[in-house]
Amino acid sequence: MSNLLKRSIWGILYVVIMMGGILIHPFAFAAVFATLLFFTQYEFYAMVEEAGHKIYRLPGTLLGLLFFFTSFGLSGGYLPRPFAFIFIPILMTLFIIELFRSNKLTLQNSGITVLGFVYIAIPFGLMNFVVHSSATGQSTVYYPWILAGIFFILWVNDSFAYMIGSALGKHKLCPKISPAKSWEGLIGGAVFAVIMGIVNAVLFQEISMLSWIVIALLTVGFGTLGDLFESKIKREIGAKDSGNILPGHGGFLDRLDSLLFAIPAVFLWLIISGNL
């Protein structure tokens, strides 16, 4: 089987599973995205551990899952609001773990463990509030199309940024971190992402066209920063990919790095615009 065919099959399977998780049912969403969170956060910890950091990755990952399911329960109305403060003992637990470990890098190791939680678990947790939107006028309704639309924008942006950058890219965006990225690719991807945002506005009319355009621009801008952030981490520790669980695509962190920066920015806009 050629590498291109293998990459295509796994890419299609990845999209089908993710879209199925978003669209079928709230519990399907929780199962799929909790699984994605586990592997993504575990990959991050494994990657930095290979660089010499003594991360206590399993507790950090399990605490990330606890935060995700708590967010799911709060956003869907399954848990009372006081559970929102559970993040405080969660973060404290990440530091307490270091008290019982025999190493001399407590500050560094606990800081990286918390970074994995903030960088990965919090954006995944926020996705629960995006799919349990008040855009339809009900506070706890499961409305998956906003998150699905964000993914459509991301995929359109990535595809056209790659194609236009490969064909026309001459001015490097950030050559020291990601030599392949160009300003031409960024601008071209952004144009088609905005077009996808307009299409989303026609398909999913609970959010205005202006909001969808803003979401598209935020997704492109912060998604690019997220991609560069992961590229810089990999460059600094000498890793090519975050993992190899997706043949031809690397790891889950490689596929979701843009989303991790885009979701908090879009979530804030949805709050400001009154759609959450």
For the segment 78-98, what is each residue's pLDDT rounded down to a tens digit?
888 787 777 777 777 766 766
Strand 178-182, strand 172-174: pairing: antiparallel
- Model confidence at 274, in pLDDT bands (50, 70, 90)? confident
Using DSSP, state whether 124 is helix, strand or coil.
Answer: helix
> Residue ranges of the domains in the chain?
3-272
Q: What integer best gives the mean pLDDT of the chain?
A: 85
Distance CA 136, CA 90 (A): 33
User: Could you tell me the pTM of the whole model?
Assistant: 0.89
Separation between Cα atoms, residue 78 and residue 244, nearest integer Å: 36
Q: Quote the CA–CA distance of 46 and 233 in Å, as a whole number.
A: 13
Tell me: the pLDDT tens digits for 4-42?
566 677 778 888 988 999 999 999 999 999 999 999 999
Q: How far apart are CA 81 and CA 72, in angstroms?
A: 12
